[in-house]
Amino acid sequence: MKKINQYIIALIAVFTFSCELDEPVDLNNPSFGGVLNDASIGQLNELVTGVVARASTGMGNYHDIVGVIGREIYRIDVSDPRWVGDLLGTGNLDNSAFYTGTNFSTRYNGVKTANTLIGAVENTTVLTDEEAQGYLAFAKTFKAHALLFALNHQYDNGIRVDVEDPNALGPYTSNAAEGYDAIAAILAEAATHIENAGTSFAFGLTSGFDGFDTPATFAGFIKALQARVALYQENYADAVTFVDQSFLDETGNFDLGVYRVFANASGDRVNALFFPNNTNGTTRLVQNDWVPDAEDGDLRLSKASLRNSPQDVISGQLVANYDAWAVKDQTQPMAFIRNEELILIKAEALIQDGSAAALAEAVTLIDIIRVQSGGLGNYSGPVTQSDLINEMLHQRRYSLFDEGHRWIDMRRYDRLDELPLDLPNHSVIVQLPRPFNEIGVQGG
């Protein structure tokens, strides 16, 4: 990943919990106002770098939070017991804790950087129309992505969508559905921009975008995100349409996709989800039901590694036997979205169609996942909508383990009460509280 220079660091750090904007001061680089007035290609491309960097910032915490709440992992931090207290539902959540304010702020830093790029593109004379469309498609895609991740945490608390003017912040959406609609609209704008972006971008991208670094191929990434959001909206026909227009390859590499990339060189960042096996103290462990609930011989159990000795999770009351091992190296890329998820999106949308033909096609897709990802035999259960929903959720649980989906999936199906509780005082959190800094702020 490219190192972020002082200008970009100043620019992307200006967005606080309450969405206030301060003018960054950097005597060695153009002012913030200068970027918004006739920015150069170089300045625009620094903003592109900032957008990509922001999409990776804090993703370790994001995934750990949804993984703990969704009963995929235990996150142990010897200096912070809230990972095995608050997030396992032992009492009231703290609206000023790291899992609320920090993550909220990080996602909105991404929104702010994308908005800055949009504003800069709209106020420069150095771009052709096609080049401008490419920048706008890119910026709006990542703006929508950042908002989606904020909404995944906040859910029916809603999110702010309109934050372009810090002195006139837009209101919160009234619920999750309104938030999904707003995000879908931004992605639709991105899809329109990309159609008019010509044959090449005026900016370069990291290796995580290999195969998706032209307008024609980046369009498939946008369609993939549109399919995910349509699924969350329960717009299942649209989900099928979008996923068929994406980079879906039912017989191709499951790991084909767009990725955040990491490096361990000075100035770069590593994948925060990686911990060596058998680490004691601060580490990540597999929730105790995940291995026993799998079918015998499921190859996806390689995402759990049996420890040499059990690790204490909660003061002798709870121990875990497996390390979380989906991420096996500190430089392993992290997917924004990949082909295996797309196959499962299409299967789910077809199941929701409910017709005999759609259910049969969904079984074909589930079998692809079962055989090629799980090393299992074909599905042999009843071909009913309810049974296939159960099977689909099971396949998502193992194919997408530790990728940030389980909590959202079970919430979408109103099945949070089916998630396991390790101790009698545990409960499952539905959504995180609105950050303290946002309460009483304009529109909040």
| Chain segment 306-330, per-residue pLDDT in tens | 999 999 999 999 999 999 999 999 9
Backbone angles phi, psi at 367, to 5 degrees: -65, -35
Q: Residue 193: exposed, middle, or buried by beta-carbon count in 10 A (0-12, 13-18, 19+)?
A: buried
Average pLDDT on 270-295 reads 97
pLDDT class for 137, splitting at 50, 70, 90? Answer: very high
Q: d(Cα 369, Cα 314) in Å, to the nearest integer? A: 35
Average pLDDT on 56-76 reads 97
Total of domains in the chain: 1
Residue of higher predicted confidence among 18 and 89: 89
Asked if residue 410 belongs to a domain, the reply is no
Q: d(Cα 326, Cα 397) in Å, to the nearest integer? A: 13
Asked if residue 65 belongs to a domain, the reply is yes
Asked if residue 140 belongs to a domain, the reply is yes
pLDDT class for 2, splitting at 50, 70, 90? Answer: very low
Q: Is the four-CA dihedral 139, 141, 147, 149 of positive or negative sign? A: negative
Coil, strand or helix at 71: coil
Q: d(Cα 319, Cα 316) in Å, to the nearest integer? A: 7
Is pLDDT at 115 greater than 60 in this prediction? yes
Asked if residue 80 belongs to a domain, the reply is yes
pTM: 0.92
Residue 103 C-beta-side C-alpha neighbours within 13 Å? 25
Asked if residue 281 belongs to a domain, the reply is no
Q: Is the four-CA dihedral 224, 225, 226, 231 of positive or negative sign? A: positive
Q: d(Cα 273, Cα 72) in Å, to the nearest integer? A: 13
Q: Using DSSP, how many helices (H) and how many strands (E) does the chain show?
A: 13, 6
- % of residues, the chain, pLDDT over 90: 87
Average pLDDT on 405-432 reads 98
Q: What are the structure tokens assigned to 28, written together?
A: 């060695």
Q: Count CB neighbours of 147 within 10 A.
A: 26
State residue 369's pLDDT score.
98
Looking at every residue in the chain, the average pLDDT score rounds to: 92
Q: d(Cα 94, Cα 97) in Å, to the nearest integer? A: 5
- The pLDDT tens digits of the residues spanning 16-36 come to 333 333 333 232 333 455 688
Asked if residue 290 belongs to a domain, the reply is no
Backbone angles phi, psi at 393, to 5 degrees: -65, -35
State residue 401's pLDDT score.
98
Q: d(Cα 269, Cα 59) in Å, to the nearest integer? A: 11
Is pLDDT at 417 greater than 70 in this prediction? yes
The DSSP code for 21 is: B
State residue 34's pLDDT score.
63
State residue 443's pLDDT score.
67
Is pLDDT at 441 greater than 60 in this prediction? yes
State residue 421's pLDDT score.
98
From the centroid of its chain, how far is CA 60? 11
Q: d(Cα 99, Cα 93) in Å, to the nearest integer? A: 9
- The pLDDT tens digits of the residues spanning 189-240 come to 999 999 999 999 999 999 999 999 999 999 999 999 999 999 999 999 999 9
Asked if residue 438 belongs to a domain, the reply is no
Which of 150-159, 181-190, 266-275, 416-425 comes out lowest in average pLDDT?
266-275
Asked if residue 186 belongs to a domain, the reply is yes
The domain of 60 spans: 1-204
- The pLDDT tens digits of the residues spanning 343-402 come to 999 999 999 999 999 999 999 999 999 999 999 999 999 999 999 999 999 999 999 999
State residue 30's pLDDT score.
34
The structure tokens 């009913």 sit at: 384
